[in-house]
Amino acid sequence: MKVSEIGEFGLIKLLSEVILRRRSASVAKNEYGMVVDIGDDASAWRSNKSLTIATIDTLVQGVHFTSEISWRELGWKTLAVNLSDIAAMGGLPRNALVSLSLPADTEVDDVIQLYEGMEDIATEFGVNIVGGNVTSAPVVVITLTLVGEGTNGVLLTRSRAAPQELIVVTGYLGTSAAGQKMLSQHLQIEPQKAELLRKAHFLPQPRVAEGQVLLDCGVRCAIDVSDGLLADVGHICESSRVSARIRADLIPIHPVVKEFFGAEALELALGGGEDYELVFAATEDIVTAVKERVGCMVTVIGRFSSIGATKEEQSGMVFLVNEDGENLEWKMRGWEHF
């Protein structure tokens, strides 16, 4: 069987099984103190009273990016996606390690621009690039590991959504996917608006400070929107053993995206991914508290419910509904490799 036949998430599930089956043998030698294990946005463990959070992400030329992105933007985005994983755990990002695989004919100036871009965002978020590795390869592959720490020993995870909690999202959804579409289809959009879409796609702003506020307000369950809203809420449902009802009419979509993509805007918002906004589970009181403290838009878009409450809610599903609560047919899925 090829990996294309079981897909990215199928493969991850199989590999997790290998690891967890073998885990017991090595645990005897290593008191890991795992707090968050395989399957969340990042991993976390406790040692010597400190809570370490670590995440790894890879961008592959031709898969994650094309020549449309500048090297400097690529540097920014590489660190941004990792920052978003730490943000989704409510962690404080600290130190980064970078592994660079490059064709031999890559321009040195381009690589320097890549690092300048990483330093742009590293500076903004107080991150230190502390080490790395350089190898040759047929295509550009950039892998970044970001190590951070938990504050006050608490974390946001995917597995703590409770039935009846609200589904809440920061910022707008679909703007990054709209930017990608504009670039790949060479759509003509007026410069200022085009720049907004391009930035959303190439220079995402990870919600690190917002993750801290969520924790502080009592939120315990979050994920970042990387695969796409429906897919990512699906990850929460699977880990938390709940179902979700998302109101299509409440999805926050930027006016520029509505203007240029019309009916397609909702598709981009639900399935596009790479928004790097945070989706979280919270009670109404907590949502009110969060809204008072964060600088960005915070929108309630639906509600979690218990599995098994109705016949159709048996497998932690995500339902898209209209304002009357009626199910809308929805077939699009988020991004999956292979």
Which residues from 135-194 bind a second copy, rule CB under 8 A? 135-139, 141, 143, 145, 147, 149
Long-range contacts of 29-35 (CB under 8 A, 24+ apart): 35/150, 35/155
- Which residue, 130 or 297, is less far from a second copy as judged by CB? 130
Question: Could you say which residues in the range 258-277 bind a second copy, by CB under 8 A?
Answer: none
Compare residues 21 and 311 and give the one whose CB is closer to a second copy.
21
Strand partners, 301: none
In terms of CB distance, is 139 or 309 closer to a second copy? Answer: 139
Q: How far does the chain reach from its first CA to its final CA, in angstroms?
A: 13
Name the residue nearer to a second copy (CB basis): 99 or 283.
99
Interface region with a second copy, contact rule CB under 8 A, candidates 2-10, 154-162, 227-235, 301-309: 2-10
Taking CB under 8 A as the rule, does residue 67 contact a second copy? no
Closest approach, Cβ 325 to a second copy, in A, equals 36
Applying CB under 8 A, the span of 101-109, 235-243, 296-304, 324-332 interacting with a second copy comes to 101-109
Q: State the amino acid at position 141 in one-letter form.
A: V
Residue 280 beta carbon to a second copy: minimum distance, rounded to whole angstroms: 21
Sheet holding 91-102, edge to edge: 34-36, 43-47, 50-60, 141-150, 91-102, 128-136
Least distance (Å) from a second copy to the CB of residue 233?
20
By beta-carbon proximity to a second copy, the closer residue of 50 and 322 is: 50
Size of the site for a second copy (CB under 8 A): 85
Residue with tokens 């960005």: 296
Question: Measured from the CB atom, is 123 or 314 closer to a second copy?
Answer: 123
Which residues are within 8 A (CB) of 32 and not within 5 positions of it... i.e. 6 or more apart? 45
Binding string, 14-53, against a second copy, x = CB under 8 A?
xx--xx--xx-xxxxxx-x-x--xx-x-xx-x-xxxx-x-
**CA 319, chain centre distance (Å):** 20
Binds a second copy by CB under 8 A, chosen from 74, 83, 102, 168: 102
The Cα 150–Cα 25 span in angstroms is 28
User: CA 282 → CA 100, 220, 227, 301, 302, distances in Å?
Assistant: 39, 8, 21, 12, 11
